[in-house]
Structure 1
Amino acid sequence: MRRILTVAAVVLSTAGCAAPGTAPTWQAGASGVPVTASSRAKATPKPRVVSENKAKGPLGDVIELGGLKDGSGQPYVIFGVTGPVVNETSDFGFAIGVRLPGNVLQEELTISEYVGTATTPGFHPMQAQMELSDDSVQPAFGYYSGTPASITVKEAGRTLTARLATWSEVPGTTVFWFDPADVRDSDQWTDLGAYDAAGARLPDGHIELATF
């Protein structure tokens, strides 16, 4: 595992917000031939997870991060996990890692809830963007128990908007991440918030930004 440069943890400012805790398929290129259950199973075998932290999974579908890659050119992914890497109060956590040749998922860091339950409405502890020892950048990511239309954070007067994906394993769970190309200084992040389609703020839950 690559050496990470910083170790710390902060809680994002949430001025004016609720207190934490309130909270037929077709195969591409097959000329219109339906995919049977047996052919689909052969075409998409379950990925294998490798982890120094003994993460087990993946749970549900693996989430691609829109082409974001690590320093060696491997695509970043986020996926659900269980095992000793997950805090005792949680049934699951989310790992960020890379997809290696042979459909192998390499777990690099896992986040999970340690206050209350993993499915309490709102945010759960997230991981900040990190600059790694090979000069690559691992994107900030987290998950929200609910289905917000948007998730944003303030950065020195700017508003950054997260990318969202629905997790297939637990209905109503949203995984989010921020493209490093949008981020200038995550040390200045404040007011992480989730909003519905009408712009109303949703429950905050447990907002915490880890930077290790």
Structure 2
Amino acid sequence: MNDLDDLRDAMNTPDFSPKPLDLGAVMAAGGRLRRRRRLAVGATSGLAVLALLVGGAQLARPDGAQPVSAGSPGTGVNVTPVEPRQDGAFGDVVDTGMTIGGGPRLLWVTELEDPALPDTGIGIAVGRRDAGGGLVVDVMSNESVGSDRAPGFHAAQAPMTIGSGPSPAFGYYVGDAAKITVTADGKKVTARQATWSEDPSVVLFWFTLDQVAPGARLGKLSAHDRDGRRLPAGNASFGVG
């Protein structure tokens, strides 16, 4: 009980006789109350700032797909729209069924060797063949954080328009994925896929341009096995070059 309580009780007694009030104690009590209120407001403000920062990041990525710029650190994906160049394939070359410049749009795995990426030995490329039959890379994507063979999605690249024409959404999955889907502009679509010739646990996948067009709002990828069970997601977001 403080001095204010004493005063209130005394005033309610028949033989009330005023006594000096300890103003210092009253001020100290009021000061403690004000400090508690300031701390509460400060904590609330901190949460509001955090929410604004998170909201700002989401505004920069309105489709929720967490797109990244080429070479952005910590994203887990190194997406490289490259100048057309010659490159060899590691394993079989996959015909996507789409055409570019009158020829087939192709997908293949490339070997990588970079001391800065000790856990990444492969990348995935989309491109075409030149007049002499050589492979020309248009877009290449690879992991930049963690193992490139960890279960889940890897190196997923959103569709975009490049110098040679539109490039489809593509990537690869490590695991027994029988079905790969994504939501594009609010509609769920199923990827086409092919098992990599050099490792049957690696599934290459792509979406045709009529399924997922450049600029489409993309959700995160999902994979299911033959029994419909959902598989590990890994890095299920798309990169944007």
Common fold by TM > 0.5: yes
Q: Does 1:178 align with 2:207?
A: yes
- What is the correspondence of 1:17-166 to structure 2 with a 5 Å cutoff? 57-66=88-97, 68-70=98-100, 72-83=101-112, 88=117, 89-133=119-163, 136-166=165-195
Structure whose residues are more often helix by fraction: 2
Larger Rg: 2
Q: Distance in 2 between matches of 1:149 and 1:110?
A: 24
TM-score, reference length from structure 2: 0.61
1:188 maps to 217
Tell me which residue corresponds to 1:40. Answer: none
CA distance in 1, matches of 2:150, 2:158: 21
Q: CA deviation at 1:171?
A: 2.4
Give 5+ residue unaligned stretches, structure 2.
Answer: 1-59, 67-74, 77-81
Q: Distance in 2 between matches of 1:105 and 1:82?
A: 14
TM-score by length of 1: 0.68
In structure 2, how many angstroms separate the alpha carbons of the residues matched to 1:189 and 1:59? Answer: 29
Q: Give a deviation string over 1:146-200, Cα, whole Å, max 9, x none.
A: 1211100012331111001000012210000000012356542113100112211
Is the 8 Å Cα contact of residues 74 and 100 (structure 1) preserved in structure 2?
no
Secondary structure of the structure 1 residue equivalent to 2:177: coil
Partner secondary structure for residue 210 of structure 2: helix
Query: In structure 2, do the counterparts of structure 1 residues 146 and 110 end up closer, same or farther at CA, with 3 Å as the change threshold?
Result: same
Deviation of 1:80 (Å)? 1.3
The one-letter amino acid of 2:180's match is: I
How many residue pairs get aligned? The number is 167
Of Structure 1 and Structure 2, the greater strand share is in 1
Inter-partner Cα distance in structure 1 for 2:146 and 2:211: 32
Determine the C-alpha separation between the residues in 2 that align with 1:118 and 1:101: 33
Q: Which residue of 2 aligns with 1:12?
A: 65
Check conservation: 1:57, 1:81, Cα contact below 8 A. yes
Change (3 A) 1:52 1:138: closer
Q: Paired residue for 1:3?
A: none
Deviation at 1:61, TM superposition (A): 0.5
